[in-house]
Amino acid sequence: MSLTFYFHPLASYCQKALIALYENDTPFEPHLVDLGNEAASAEFKKLWPMGKMPVLRDDARDRTIPESTIIIEYLALHHPGRTQLVPADADLALQTRLRDRFYDCYVHDPMQRIVGDRLRPPEKKDPLGVEQARSLLLTSYGMIEQEMASKKPWAMGDTFSLADCAAAPALFYANQVQPFVDTHRNVGAYFERLMARPSFARVVEEAKPYFHMFPR
């Protein structure tokens, strides 16, 4: 098999790329990485010295592709399927990439800062940083709420895209640390559609055995 995907089912950025793989039934060999295991971590870093997941390996083209967004772009370019995750139109593609960056930078990142703080020992807590992250999340929720007021089903309108791959895990975990379902009706409705999407539903189901590891 040409493609090998190095990931962990609980990791949000890994989930983002998994959605793309499942959307198009792209054949791949899953390789679960346990960074807590010294030997497994060392072996993974031989492939990608930065040691960050996910990573896609395409043996047929002798390419190693890190970073979830780049993996999805690579799949769209070299392993396309029925769901065109990156529009062919240059302007629409640019708008899609903007929304991808929005969910990564303004939902995903502050969510991870809050989660990371929960993992710190008491003397290393950063209450100011957590407060700033929550404020950024609320601002982001407000922007998504307005954007989804048009009743469009997905981030780019009628078509599921790279932007939705970014939104799904970001909102899933953000709702755990700064709930939005009761306060932002349109965001909540969009989240329900994401949860019902078969590709993301599969990702969530596969992550369930690891949910106990998430710091609540």
Class of residue 13 by CB neighbours under 10 A (exposed 0-12, middle 13-18, buried 19+):
buried
The pLDDT, as a whole number, for residue 215 is: 87
Distance set, CA 59 to CA 3, 5, 62 (Å): 7, 11, 5
Tokens of 122: 């008491």
Give the domain ranges of the chain.
3-78, 90-198
Are 178 and 142 contacting, i.e. CB atoms less than 8 angstroms apart? Answer: no
C-alpha torsion angle, residues 76, 80, 83, 84 (rounded to 10): 40
Global confidence as pTM: 0.95
Q: Are strands 29-32 and 3-7 parallel, antiparallel or unpaired?
A: parallel
Q: Which residues in the chain come in under a pLDDT of 50? A: none
Q: Give the separation between CA 214 and CA 124, rounded to whole angstroms.
A: 19
Topology of domain 90-198 in CATH is Glutathione S-transferase Yfyf (Class Pi); Chain A, domain 2 (1.20.1050)
Topology of domain 3-78 in CATH is Glutaredoxin (3.40.30)
The pLDDT, as a whole number, for residue 1 is: 60
Do the domains spanning 3-78 and 90-198 agree at the CATH topology level? no
The pLDDT, as a whole number, for residue 36 is: 87
Which tens digit of pLDDT belongs to each residue from 117-164?
999 999 999 999 999 999 999 999 999 999 999 889 999 999 999 999
Q: Give the separation between CA 120 and CA 126, rounded to whole angstroms.
A: 9
The pLDDT, as a whole number, for residue 120 is: 92
